[in-house]
Structure 1
Amino acid sequence: METADRGVRSVEDLLRLLDGLFADGGDRWSEAAAGWWDDFYADRDRPVPFFADKPDESLAGWVADGTIPAGRALDLGCGPGRNAVHLAGLGFAVDAVDLSPAAVAWGRDRARAAGVDVDFRCADAFGGGISGPYDLVYDSGCFHHLPPHRRISYLALLERVLAPGGWFGLTCFAAGAMGSETPDAELYRRGRLEGGLAYSAEQLRHIFSSYSLVQLRRVRADPAYFGEEFLWTALYRKPVTGAGIPAVA
């Protein structure tokens, strides 16, 4: 008789089990999706808005007006490195992480062309290889590709690597404008993330309620920067003291 699989004995075991429910649904966040993203980034001349060598308008503004001072920064899901290169050029010490070797290679090319130093890494952000503390964690387009259960991993990562008093910046799909609004439970029934999940302002406030919200607004179109109005931009600050978010065991 075949022995049943009873390997779940930790939160991480459970999360990986749930990962498998999306394995055949074209998910774009796990290591298995690296090939999909490599194909996506293969043609650097494609007319994709975020292929432009420009930082997010919100991030550029927060740094320019002194809200976020230079320090150590982590760019999650960095893609071709446009935000990482911009930060490095302004004096930040930047680590940039992405699943796609093609994206990381492009980012390195951009850093060399700009004459800046960025530590690009091809890795799964949840694999444990990222160590803080960071004064800034920035995410433009990674969070909305995560399945619901990986929000747990995401919050645990922020709690682990973001310095007390550090900044967390986020750009993601806005409900009613872009992305799937399918309820979490139904996503598991369908086994698909439907190209990325949309969030309302209230949902973002709830998910990141352990952090102080500094700004939450829609991204502005600006020819000098990357900006698409179907996106939210949000800036949070981690409390200097407090209970924080429990680590994933």
Structure 2
Amino acid sequence: MKYANVDKIYQTLPLENIPWNSETPPEALVNLVKNGIVRPCKTIDLGCGAGNYAIYLTGLGFEVIGVDSSPTAIKMAEEQAKIRGVRCRFVVADLLGDLHEVTDTFDFAYDWEFLHHIFPEDRETYIRNVHKITNPGATYFSVCFAESDPQFGGSGNYRTTRIGTTLYFSSESEIRELVSPYFAIRELKTVDVSSKFGPHRAVSLLATRR
């Protein structure tokens, strides 16, 4: 993942033009809470961007830390939390680094449409980090673009977006192989996800930390 490019996106594009930025929490995340699959607990939002979902969960009683590599995004998140009067923390950190900036461990970790920014050669480093900062029995929820998605050309695993980022589109089997050594898979499926620029197909993972 080219972190500098992501920070440049936050510096140069209005939030409404950034494809992954949405103030409305995704239905899948809302349903996890609504159905009691996750309850208020210590939570980490991995690749939190401008902090919308971290702020949403904090408002429901979760104790949330949002982490992102973009200092610009983190500043925006802190400003939004202050405006909305919620107490959640935001940290600038390289999620492929040693995560020394994150000193807590968590009972719920999630990355919403973040993993497709990480290429296969770096994914084991990332999933080890998620394992390291979660408690035994913690819930991990991840949603990333599926290789069956028709967006951005509709074929091949590597695709370039309209804003110039390159993403990796995954199969269910790739995600299973990636996470199985570290997490027990509870649910793995390909789903339709709505977004501000149209629907797309995504691989949805719900797992428990071993």
| TM-score, normalised by the number of residues in structure 1 | 0.71
Would you say the 8 A contact 2:140–2:207 is kept in 1?
Answer: yes
Q: Which structure shows the higher strand fraction?
A: 2
Structure 1 runs not aligned, ≥5 long: 1-26, 184-192, 240-249
Corresponding residue of 2:161: none
Q: Which amino acid aligns with 2:172?
A: A
Equivalence for 1:169: 141
**Percent identity among equivalent residues?**
27
CA shift at 1:194, angstroms?
A: 6.6
Q: Which has the higher contact order (CA 8 A, sep 6+)?
A: 1
2:166 is aligned with 1:199:
no
**Are residues 131 and 162 of structure 1, via their aligned partners in 2, closer, same or farther at CA, if it must alter by over 3 Å?**
same
1: CA distance, partners of 2:41 / 2:102: 16
Structure 2 residue 82 is matched with structure 1 residue 112:
yes
Residue 65 of structure 1 aligns with which residue? 35
Whole-angstrom distance in 1 between the partners of 2:175 and 2:194: 24
Matched, 1:91 2:61: yes
Specify the SS of the correspondent of 1:132. coil
- Note if contact 1:38-1:101 (Cα within 8 Å) is conserved in structure 2: no
Go from structure 1 to structure 2 and tell me whether the alpha carbon gap of 1:152 and 1:49 turns closer, same or farther (over 3 Å shift).
Answer: closer
Partner of 2:208: 237
May I ask how many residue pairs the two structures share in their alignment? 199
Worse-matched range after superposition: 145-154 or 60-69: 145-154
User: How far apart, CA to CA, are the structure 1 residues paired with 2:76 and 2:192?
Assistant: 26
TM-score by length of 2: 0.82
- Which aligned runs of 4 or more in structure 1 are off by greater than 6 angstroms? none
Contact 1:173 1:199 survives alignment (8 Å)? yes
Name the structure 1 match of 2:16.
45
**Alpha-carbon displacement from aligned partner over 1:142-173 (angstroms, at most 9, x marks no partner):** 22111322212112212211100001110111
Partners of 2:141 and 2:33 lie apart in 1 by 11
Contact 2:189 2:204 in 1 (8 A): yes
Alignment of 1:175-186 (within 5 A): 175-177=147-149, 178=151, 181-182=156-157
CA distance in 2, matches of 1:144, 1:78: 14
Larger Rg: 1
Partner residue of 2:71? 101
